[in-house]
Structure 1
Amino acid sequence: MQRICVIGGSRYFGKLLVKRLQAAGHQVTVINRGSTPPPAGVEHLVVDRNDEAALTATLGSRTFDVVVDQVCYTPVQAAVSARAFAGRTRRYVMTSTIEVYDPATAAMAAVPPGTPVPEEIVDPATWLVAMDLPWHDEAYLEAHYAEGKRQAEAVFTRAGSFEFASVRCAHVLGGGAQEFTGRLAHYAGLIATGVEITVHAKALPTVFIHYEELADLLLWATTADFTGPVNACSDGPLDVHGLAAIIAAQTGREPVYRIVPAGEEASAFSFDRHYAMHNARAKELGYSFSRTTDWLPGAVAEALTIEPSPSA
């Protein structure tokens, strides 16, 4: 049994992670702002993780074996947590994102299309951190989501007071109504009702992961001993046409496409730039992934039970 603290953990795969940590026999503490209580038997600390004084006071004399941070989006938040948990934990795991590799959001080494992107393309040990940017502004943060994650990883990597690992997760699907992006249900609705899907002329593939598999991987990451970033994605990239074909097989309706001009935004999961991740490092460390095409039909079936989206 380990003492594990989860920051966030109130919805989707974070909520499932808390349940699986508890089922595995760990002593679990959840920190959030109190909107959603954790399961019975899980300690609940209600505090704003952005308020360093309140966070430190709420933690009191508690110490943990591992902290899993589900809701860190900026270097400022990372710095607050790095100070608050210094001397309180031996390991810190942050949930990060595939978006850190998006070449449209930062200058980085180019990876040829068709070559899966490895972790070293974004090295948090050398990434520039700028604390004075308007990270507190919600509009700025939304527009700079990927950079906020990159810089948060960089702050934790350099903190030096605990082992640090980041899990860079692919596009997360599954869970029906639980799926907080609603993108799969959106696509299912478009295809089922014959509404056009806007796509790029040469749509490039991306990678996905089922929300249950991501919860399992995070559970594994809490008790593993690796440090640094690890990519989390199921085997088998898909482009928007491959995704739509699997949905079409469930709906019995063929997708209707409209190609957008170069440079114009298309539907989610149609990409005109390459940053599909490589999951070799996680495999080398001992984690085995499912294939996207094995679980996606079931996730589509769940999504089809949700009210279809009216727009493309």
Structure 2
Amino acid sequence: MSMNSVPLGSIVQEIAEEMKLAGDRGAVADYIPQLASVSPWHFGMAIVDMDGECHVAGDAQVPFSIQSITKVFALTMALGAVGDALWHRVGREPSGSAFNSIVQLEWERGIPRNPFINAGAIVVSDILLSHYEPAEVIGEFLQFMRMLTGDDSVAIDQIVARSERDTGFRNVALANYMRAFGNIHHPVDKTLGVYFHQCSLSMDCRQLARAGRFLMTGGRNPDTGLSVVTPQRARRILALMMTCGHYDGSGEFAHRVGLPGKSGVGGGILAIAPRIASIAVWSPGLNDRGNSQLGTLALERLVQRTGWSVFGPG
């Protein structure tokens, strides 16, 4: 819980006010045209605690493209479908390379380092396609996200999905390269269709924080009391978020924030304080590692004021 007497709602509001004054807001991702048009002046934050209270500030109810944050939820679904057999096709180690790097795939014969880099997430999409068509997988994914949020308005932005498809040449290369090694089992266009649509999910901070609650609670959906994943699997997903959730900036994020987190190039970050809170921040400007500049700063200030870092206060 909070290490001081300041109410959490006040802390969230203070941080949002501080972010308004920030000078260096990073650079908006420009390689996906629909993301390039988003103003860098947005900042939103939402925190859902174990009691179900939601504290919001700034643009917490403005929808944005959550991009790679969806990899957490797709991994959850794939583990539910095939269990630990997934790890025969995807590793569990930090990459130390950019999120869209192709270099390691040659050295490691088509086995991506982890499910949060693009290559790993494309394999996860391929696993989800087993016995299904892309439209069915995308429908199941959307239903899963609506269940986690308790909100049927969560939707995929079809314009962003088309923009991703039209510009995703490197992802096409990654998928074809892994297909050459036998680690993509379905036609590349079908696997990438699932991947591009998944990454185009549109949510606001409030919805995203609600979607992460099952990781806060050890695998249980607080709305229904039903298990989403086992406690052991929830811990393992959190471990991957801590070590791999910010690509080659994961060590820096752990050093500064000390929470399991997953970023997306839309400027969002989902962070989990186990048994305490699920946190979503959004600011579109990115640092040189492709992670939200102000989102990271806001989370750093949050843990400084609450003592929520998994490594202890200080």
TM more than 0.5: no
TM-score where L is the length of structure 1: 0.26
Relative contact order higher in (CA < 8 Å, ≥ 6 apart): 2
> Between Structure 1 and Structure 2, which shows a larger proportion of helix residues?
2
TM-score where L is the length of structure 2: 0.26
Compare CA radii of gyration and give the structure with the larger one. 1
